[in-house]
Amino acid sequence: MSAALGGAGDIVGILGATIFVAAMLIWVERRMLAIWQDRLGPNRVGPLGLLQVVADMIKMFFKEDWIPPFADKLVFVLAPTIVFITMLTGFAVIPFAPGVGIIDFNFGLLYFLALSSLAVYSVVLAGYASNNKYSLLGALRAAAQTVSYEVFMGLSVMGVVMLSGTFNLREIVEAQRDGWFIIPQFVGFVIFLIAVIAESRRAPLDLPEAEQELVAGFHTEYSGMKFGMFFVGEYLAIILSSAMIVTLFFGGWLGPWLPPLAWFCLKTGVGILFFILLRGALPRPRYDQLMSFGWKVMLPVALLNLLVTGAVVLSLQS
Amino acid sequence: MMLILFYIASAVAVFATLMMITRLNAVHGLLYLILSLLAVGVLFFLLGAHFAAVLEVIIYAGAIMVLFVFVIMMLNQGQKTVDQERSWLQPATWIGPSLLALILFAELLIVIVLGGSAETGQLVDSKHVAIALYGPYLLAVELASMLLLAGLVGAYHLGKPMIKKTWGKKS
């Protein structure tokens, strides 16, 4: 089977659940950050503040959806949808549990890399179309950052590919029955984690929208639901990233006692909380620090990891 | 079914490429070029070369075109460049090359119609690509790597004196 499609129920269920979780993350993130910083967070609307999401949505829908007269209108409207669509289609290859998933594609891992590199167009085009200096600076940062970190994001997962001998995400999970890949590929895991944060432009690596320097970076001119698309797109990126980390390094759906789907969701949830904790815990580096760290530290380490993994795999085979 | 999909994707690719050439705004042109590359990716997928399809998207659409957009965005001068493009895109300039290209296209059509099917009918795995690259085509891979090394040395050479000059001026 090269590209087997899941059932219609699977497709609707997975996409619906992902969008729902992404929306709920708006509340989860604010609430968890507040708890970690000894505050209360949004707790007024509904039980525990759970309806805060609804309140936010209503606010966003009724805001004026303004397109600046100096903007490149077509591209301005197109830009926010790109991140939303690429991140949502990224979930197609995620193996949630045996038999649960949208598509079983032989190059699932490469498909994920392709979509994450396409997602950068959203930010770059938003910055260009806004015709605003701050937006343009944010977009330039985003383009440079994403292209650099993409290089070793691909290299860091090649260790996993070598150990499992396949690009198929289902087979990668099956290959971890005897032990999760985080143990032999710890270096690869750390590099992949940092690269994924840089790719999804999350704090602490959110230089393209560093609000102290660039107002709001690439989405300075966006309001209403167009801004909402960027917002939800970012949360979709977080969910997709933690799902990929779980699949590649933490054994996917494998685990004792609980059903496979529950294990997958549990691990992904822990990953998402870790992303939120990082935002609360780490300061933002300077932009030149980010770039030189990428090229001078991460790239050599990723190549070295590849070399050592290859040598060990070859010596074990012979 | 596959044949219909193939022709739809080809039509998208050709149309996007035409639009890319005729756009006055450079970024709009690039957007069409990206679309054209994605359509070529779909073509590869339909022909069974899944690996080539994904690489097409990662490398061309995802990396090289981002750099193109990056540079054009930095040099963006708004309406002035659009007017300049308009003055360059006179019928007198493009009719000659288009006629010549049309002859090539007609030849290609004749070859395809006479030559029969172009279906490959097999899936190309990443392993097959790797074995081919590091087996019979090893020399080509080495040559490509030498070319890239020359490019790297050139970029380093071009980039270095600039840094020194700006440093010298400031201090």
pLDDT in tens, A36-48: 888 887 878 878 7
Cβ-based contacts of B58 with chain A (< 8 Å): 110, 113-114, 117, 154
Instruction: List the single residue in A111, A124, A154 with the smallest CB-CB distance to B66.
Output: A124
Closest CA–CA distance from residue B134 to any residue of chain A (Å): 16
> Any CB–CB contact under 8 A between A152 and chain B?
no
Q: What is the CA radius of gyration of chain B?
A: 21
Average pLDDT, chain B: 77
pLDDT digits (tens, 9 = 90+) for B93-135: 777 777 887 887 787 777 767 765 555 556 677 778 888 888 8
Structure tokens at A129: 């179309």
* Model confidence band, residue B146 (pLDDT cutoffs 50, 70, 90): very high
> Any CB–CB contact under 8 A between A288 and chain B?
no
pLDDT digits (tens, 9 = 90+) for B65-103: 888 877 777 776 667 777 777 777 777 777 777 788 788
Task: Specify the pTM.
Answer: 0.80
In the predicted model, residues of chain A with pLDDT beneath 50 are: 1-2
Residue A176, C-beta contacts closer than 8 angstroms, at least 6 positions apart: A164, A251, A252, A254
Contact A114 B54 (CB under 8 A): yes
* Model confidence band, residue B161 (pLDDT cutoffs 50, 70, 90): low
Q: Which phi and psi (to 5°) does residue B10 adopt?
A: -65, -40
pLDDT digits (tens, 9 = 90+) for A114-157: 888 888 888 888 888 777 778 888 888 888 888 888 888 888 88
Contact B73 A124 (CB under 8 A): yes
Residues 113-142 of A with CB under 8 A from B: 113-114, 117-118, 120-121, 124-125, 127-128, 131, 136, 139-140
The size of the A-B interface in CB pairs under 8 A is 79
Contact A72 B62 (CB under 8 A): no
Q: Which phi and psi (to 5°) does residue A11 adopt?
A: -65, -50
Give the distance from CA A98 to its chain's centroid: 23
ipTM of the complex: 0.72
Examine the pLDDT at B160 and tell me if it is beyond 50.
yes
